[in-house]
Amino acid sequence: MGKARGLASVTVIGGGIFGLACAWEMARRGARVRVHEARGIGAGASGGHIGALAPHAPDNWNDKKAFQLDSLLIAPAFWAEVQRASGQPTGFARTGRLQPVTDPQALGPRIEAAAIRWPADLGMHLTDAPQTPLATPGLWLHDDLTARLNPRAALAALAAAIRAKGGEVIENHPAPESLPGPVLWATGTPGLLSLNQGKGVKGQSALLDFALPASPHIFADGLYIVPHDDGTTAIGSTSENSFTHDRPDDQIHSLITRARTLCPALADAPLIETWAGIRPRSTSRAPLLGAWPGRPGHYVANGGFKIGFGMAPKIAAIMADLILDGKDAIPADFRLLPSL
C-alpha cells in the first residue's frame, strides 16, 4: 500500500473516465478520495454511447500499443471488481470484433503479428461465417481481444464503487479554490486546452433500440456498431476538427444511414437518442499523464480521445502508483511537456 495508508486525502477534478477510474484505483488502495465534477458524471466526452474497447493493429508495434494491450488484458478483472464494489453493471464483456475484408492477402502480416503480440486465445482470423446477424455474407476479419462496455453504466458504477469505499463524488459543483492533498486534474478538453498541448475533436453517436448483446461489434472505415447488454446498439462516431457547437447535427444521421446500409438488420431499429461531445486529443495523440510541470502536488490525466475507456484500467494503476507511492512508470511518449 505504500504511502496510501498515510494520505489524508486525494482530490480528483473531473468525473469522466480518467478521473473516476483513477479515483477508484486510489480508493481501493486505501486512500481517502474526493471527486469534484462541475456538471454531472460523464457530462463531457465520456458520456457517449460507443464503449468499444478495441486494440490497435498489432503490426508496427510500439510502446503505445503495448500499453493499450496491457490495459485491455487487465480490464476484465478491473471492471469485475468495480461491479462487485458498486453492485451495479458496467456492461463489460469480451465479445470480439468483425471488420469487412476486401483484400485478404494484405492481412497476412497483421494476423501473424497478432499471433506474436496478443495472447494465444485472443488472436485474429478470417471467417466467411460470422456468428451474428449484423454481418452480411462475405469475408470478415474477426478478433477475440476486443471487448465492450456501456460508458454511462460504467461511469455510474465507478462513482458508486468509490462511494462504497468511503470516497466522495460531488456533482454539479465547481471545485473549491482550496484543494486538500495531492490533486489530479482529469478535466478533458478544457484542461487540455489550458495546457496548450492538444485540442478538442467533436464526436457524435447514436443509440438504437436493437438487442443483440452477445454479438461481436462491427468496425468498418471508422464506423462502429456496438451491441450492448441492455438491449441497445450504439452507432458512431464522427471525428470533426471544425465545429461550431457541441450538440448533435445532421452528420449523425448520415452515420446512422451508413450503419443501416452496412448492417441491414438495423434497417428498422428505432432511434433512441443522439449524442455529441468534444473529445480531448493531445498533440501526440497519446494520453498525457504525470506531474503538472511547475505545480508541485498537482497531476494530470488527460487526452483519452477515442481510447480512454480502453486505456483507463492501466492509466488508473500507474497514476495511483505515482500519486500514492511516488513510483513513476509513465511511458516517455505519454509525459506532459513543460508548460508552454
| pTM passes above 0.85 | yes
What residues does each domain of the chain span? 2-334
Cβ(84)–Cβ(55) below 8 Å: no
Give residue 177's pLDDT.
85
CA-CA distance, 228 to 149, in Å (whole number)? 7
DSSP 3-state of 142: strand
* Closest by Cα among 319, 307, 290 to 195: 290
Q: Which amino acid is at 229?
A: D
Give residue 339's pLDDT.
62
Question: Could you read off the pLDDT tens digit of each residue along the chain, which spans 340 residues?
Answer: 344 445 559 999 999 999 999 999 999 999 999 999 999 999 999 999 999 999 999 999 999 999 999 999 999 999 999 999 999 999 999 999 999 999 999 999 999 999 999 999 999 999 999 999 999 999 999 999 999 999 999 999 999 999 999 999 999 988 888 888 899 999 999 999 999 999 999 999 999 999 999 999 999 999 999 999 999 999 999 999 999 999 999 999 999 999 999 999 999 999 999 999 999 999 999 999 999 999 999 999 999 999 999 999 999 999 999 999 999 999 999 999 886 5
CATH code of the region 2-334? 3.50.50.60
Could you tell me where the DSSP H helices lie in the chain? 17-28, 63-86, 108-117, 151-164, 188-195, 250-262, 308-325
